[in-house]
Amino acid sequence: MPLFSTERAQPWLGTIVSIRSDGPRDATSAAFEEIALVHRLMSFHDPASDVSRLNREGHVRPVTVHPYTREVLDWALRIAAASGGCFDISIGRELVEWGLLPHPEGPGAEPDGTWRDIELQADGSVFLHCPLWIDLGGIAKGYAVDRAMGRLLAQGAERAVVNAGGDIRVHGLTEPIRLSVETGADTMPMLELTNGSVASSSGHLQRREIQGMTCGPHVHGIRRKPAPTDRFVCVLAGKCMVADALTKVVMAEGNKAAGILDEFGASAYVHDPAEGWNHLNCIKVANA
Amino acid sequence: MKARLIFIPLAGIAIAGGPAYATVYLSVEQAQQIMFPGASFTPDNRTLTEDQVKAIEKMSGVPVRNKQLKVWRVSTGGWFIVDEVVGKHEYIPFALGIDAQGKVKDVEILEYREAYGDQIRNPEWRKQFVGQGPGTKLQLGKNIRNISGATLSSRHITDGVERLLATYAVVLH
């Protein structure tokens, strides 16, 4: 008997999203619709997305956004506050400057603007105190995974795995997940995950020299410089969105990020060429 | 939530039939029924002419590698096309549904086969798998289906969709 009735994959959010579930076929279709919606709302590239509208007009007048966008912004600001700005969704400015994102239409981003200039207003709209280039690339994939899983369970699935390019949420089973890190050892690190989420980041695959700096795909939100590129980070959390966002904090801060992980009920495995493997905030999460 | 990190000796892992990661998602028939439920499909394969190839490449900005077009006419209106793009190391077959108005209805990846990364091409690394007989429990791509931390890009597929939309405009519309 097959463990799962369907497994499908579609291209979304700049990666390949796969969904396996024992639910009805319609549930998988509905889950992909959720992912497509998050893609449309939060794309940096699409001029019609909520993010592009904010980057164009958010400093002129409050912009009404979809409740999903609002929820992601709310979490992004919470994680920014907890990490003292190490996670900052206004890093679109640096990513454009380094050629990792295309130059958007509209005004340039304020050189000193940060997440603190984003105001979520009581009526649900969003106002920017100065022009910013918001990029939700560090959190939206995880959120899409959470939304998809929510839809699968609501439509009758009992066991499911949603994987958006390595941001993975598992429900109802134990799933082996290979961690893509080259440690030079003759072993393969594998995670066994039951009912939770994992997100991983490593800088070395996309490492390149830009403006005399070694740049990976991650930005240290406070220093506004590339995060270290030789680290591998894997964050475990209940919500995939939280795991996704916190990989950037651990990537930038390494072992110093343990306190922030604790605040969000998360833990992390970190591999550093100099220090080897480290497990941050392991005990509390194991007992949760 | 429960999680544990384990380290598996590489010598104990088998590569399932070539690529390090291989998942079959849907057959052509399954993809057809998901995109156009209840419809029937009439094969209408085409061979692109040089002029059509040029027009498609100009419109999409994506090179045409294969002049054979696998296409079905959908009884309820629209088209169903099966094509493939080159991933990092392997071909990725995918299906595109185009509705009666010429808009993208759905994209489904039919199969995904990728090497895991640079290490897989390293002969020293591969040597560790030589001589692994039956009874090996773990098979990359079989029971280890998920990978976290790699960069799986969908760029090739979105380029492929652009190319097929241009193909639709030039050949099918």
Has residue B73 got a pLDDT over 70? yes
% of residues, chain A, pLDDT over 70: 90
> In terms of residue numbers, what domain contains A214?
166-287
Same domain assignment for residues A282 and A175: yes
Query: CB–CB of A191 and B10 under 8 A?
Result: no
Segment among A77-86, A89-98, A115-124 with least mean pLDDT: A89-98
Query: CB–CB of A202 and B149 under 8 A?
Result: yes
Domain assignment of residue B138, yes or no: yes
Domain assignment of residue B4, yes or no: no
Query: CB–CB of B149 and A234 under 8 A?
Result: yes
Q: H or E segment at A253?
A: helix A240-253
| A195–chain B Cβ distance below 8 A for any pair | yes
Has residue B18 got a pLDDT over 60? no
Question: Given this model, what pLDDT does residue A34 score?
Answer: 98
Alpha-carbon distances of A123 from A73, B126, B134, rounded to whole Å: 14, 58, 63
Q: Each residue of B126-167: pLDDT tens digit?
A: 444 444 443 344 455 455 667 777 666 788 888 999 999 999
Has residue A13 got a pLDDT over 60? yes
Average confidence (pLDDT) over A115-128: 96
Chain A residues with CB-CB distance to B8 below 8 A: 187-188, 190
Same domain assignment for residues A109 and A209: no
Question: Given this model, what pLDDT does residue A169 score?
Answer: 98
Same domain assignment for residues A98 and A180: no
Domain assignment of residue B87, yes or no: yes
The residue from A128, A156, A176 where one domain ends is A128
Please report how many Cα atoms fall inside a 13 Å half-sphere around the Cα of residue B110, on the Cβ side: 19
The residue from A106, A128, A150 where one domain ends is A128
Q: How far apart are CA B10 and CA B12, in angstroms?
A: 5
Same domain assignment for residues A207 and A273: yes
Same domain assignment for residues A185 and A257: yes
Domain assignment of residue B5, yes or no: no
Question: Given this model, what pLDDT does residue A286 score?
Answer: 43
> In terms of residue numbers, what domain contains B129?
10-172
Count how many domains chain A has.
2
Query: Mind telling me how many Å the CA of B87 is from chain A's nearest CA?
Result: 12
Same domain assignment for residues A241 and A178: yes
Has residue A217 got a pLDDT over 80? no
Chain B residues with CB-CB distance to A14 below 8 A: 153-155
Domain assignment of residue A72, yes or no: yes
Average confidence (pLDDT) over A254-258: 88
Q: Each residue of B78-110: pLDDT tens digit?
A: 999 999 988 766 788 999 999 999 899 999 999
Q: Tell which residue, A275, A234, A225, A222, has the closest CA to residue A83.
A: A222
The residue from A128, A154, A179 where one domain ends is A128
Kindly report the CATH number assigned to the domain that includes residue A269. Answer: 3.10.520.10
Query: Mind telling me how many Å the CA of B117 is from chain A's nearest CA?
Result: 8
Count how many domains chain B has.
1
Cβ burial of A90 (10 Å; 0-12, 13-18, 19+) is buried
Instruction: Report the DSSP beta bridge partners of residue A24.
Output: none
A97 or A222, which is more confident? A97
Question: Given this model, what pLDDT does residue B44 score?
Answer: 96
Same domain assignment for residues A102 and A201: no
Cα torsion A65, A67, A72, A78: sign: positive
Has residue A247 got a pLDDT over 50? yes
| B107–chain A Cβ distance below 8 A for any pair | yes
- Predicted confidence band of residue A219 (pLDDT cuts 50, 70, 90): confident
| A29–chain B Cβ distance below 8 A for any pair | yes
| CB A106, CB A203: distance < 8 Å | no
Same domain assignment for residues A115 and A186: no
Same domain assignment for residues A234 and A123: no
Q: Each residue of A170-207: pLDDT tens digit?
A: 999 998 888 888 777 777 788 999 999 999 988 655 55
Same domain assignment for residues A122 and A175: no
| Partner B, chain A 212-271, Cβ-Cβ below 8 Å | 232, 234, 236-238, 267, 269
Domain assignment of residue B1, yes or no: no
Question: What is the crossing angle of helices A25-42 and A67-82, to 10°?
Answer: 70
Cβ burial of B99 (10 Å; 0-12, 13-18, 19+) is middle
B132 or A282, which is more confident? A282
Question: Given this model, what pLDDT does residue A204 score?
Answer: 57
Same domain assignment for residues A177 and A80: no
Q: Each residue of A26-54: pLDDT tens digit?
A: 999 999 999 999 999 999 999 999 999 99
- Predicted confidence band of residue B45 (pLDDT cuts 50, 70, 90): very high
Domain assignment of residue B143, yes or no: yes
Q: Each residue of A131-159: pLDDT tens digit?
A: 999 999 999 999 999 999 999 999 999 99
